[in-house]
């Protein structure tokens, strides 16, 4: 079960990736986790990645794919994996497919959590966080008992910069330009499956279970 998760920022693909990992006993893999693990363990690949990160530069796609393929060799990936947050562009997808092919492997599913922009904007711009204890709320779906006040520690809640409407719209524009074309790419490769991300998260997961099997 080799899965790539697709979807716009705020669509809930990370949540679904975690649920898949927990339900099927496969690792939930993100490039950020891979970078941190390799840098912490001072691996050769980690040192290479760190030279770019320390300069504020993007890690080249070739090195990212090398790090990902190295992670896939770990014992916990024997039964598959859920790759979340990568690839983000067609060239990255092509590089990953090429590396998998060289290893005699291929992706089984590219699961796209489909959510309209207006729903994502509403979801993200309505989020509030407590900077003291880390509790999170939503002014519509999960409001605090007292407006703009944390239930747990009574601190004032904040709107994170990443959740501001103008920031969300900008992230969505980048997504549509750079990442959305992956839907066509994976469709042409016969592995794309769409699920309705506007439903309750458990309903979304049931849709995914229907696709990948029980």
209 catalytic? Reply is no
Residue 111 and residue 208 in contact, taking contact as beta carbons nearer than 8 Å: yes
Which residues make Cβ contacts (< 8 Å) with residue 107, sequence separation at least 6?
A: 2, 3, 4, 97, 100, 186, 189, 191
Single out the catalytic residue among 18, 36, 106, 160: 160
Tokens 């363990």: give the residue. 41
Q: Is residue 71 annotated as a catalytic residue, yes or no?
A: no
Instruction: Return the structure tokens found at 147.
Output: 């407006």
Write the CB contacts of 74 (distance below 8 Å, at least 6 apart in sequence).
27
Q: Which of 19, 123, 127, 128 is catalytic?
A: 127
Helix (H/G/I), strand (E/B), else coil: 84: strand
164 among known catalytic residues: no
* Strand-pair category, 127-129 with 136-138: antiparallel
Q: Which of 88, 169, 199, 209 is catalytic?
A: 88
Dihedral angle computed from the Cα positions of residues 62, 64, 70 and 73, in that order, rounded to the nearest 10 degrees: -110
The single residue of 50, 132, 169, 171 carrying the catalytic annotation is 171
Task: Indicate which residue of 2, 13, 19, 128 is catalytic.
Answer: 13
Phi, psi of 84 (to 5 degrees): -120, 125
Q: Any idea which residue has 């998760």 for tokens?
A: 5
**φ, ψ for residue 151 (rounded to 5)?**
-65, -35
- Give catalytic residues, as residue numbers: 13, 88, 127, 160, 171
């Amino acid at each position: 079960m080799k899965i790539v998760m697709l979807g716009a920022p705020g669509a809930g693909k990370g949540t679904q990736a975690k649920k898949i990992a927990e339900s099927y006993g496969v690792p939930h893999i993100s490039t950020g986790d891979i970078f941190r693990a390799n840098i912490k363990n001072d691996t050769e690949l980690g040192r290479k990645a760190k030279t770019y990160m320390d300069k504020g530069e993007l890690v080249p796609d070739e090195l990212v794919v090398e790090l990902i393929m190295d992670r896939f060799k770990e014992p916990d990936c024997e039964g598959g994996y859920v790759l979340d947050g990568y690839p983000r562009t067609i060239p990255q997808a092509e590089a990953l497919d090429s590396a998998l092919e060289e290893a005699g492997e291929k992706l089984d599913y590219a699961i796209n959590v489909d959510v309209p922009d207006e729903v994502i904007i509403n979801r993200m711009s309505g989020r509030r966080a407590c900077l003291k204890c880390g509790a999170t709320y939503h002014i519509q779906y999960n409001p605090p008992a007292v407006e703009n006040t944390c239930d747990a520690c009574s601190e004032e809640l904040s709107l994170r910069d990443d959740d501001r409407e103008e920031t969300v719209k900008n992230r969505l524009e980048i997504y549509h330009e750079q990442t959305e074309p992956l839907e066509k790419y994976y469709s042409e490769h016969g592995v794309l499956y769409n699920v309705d991300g506007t439903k309750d998260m458990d309903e979304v997961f049931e849709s995914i279970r229907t696709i990948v099997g029980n």
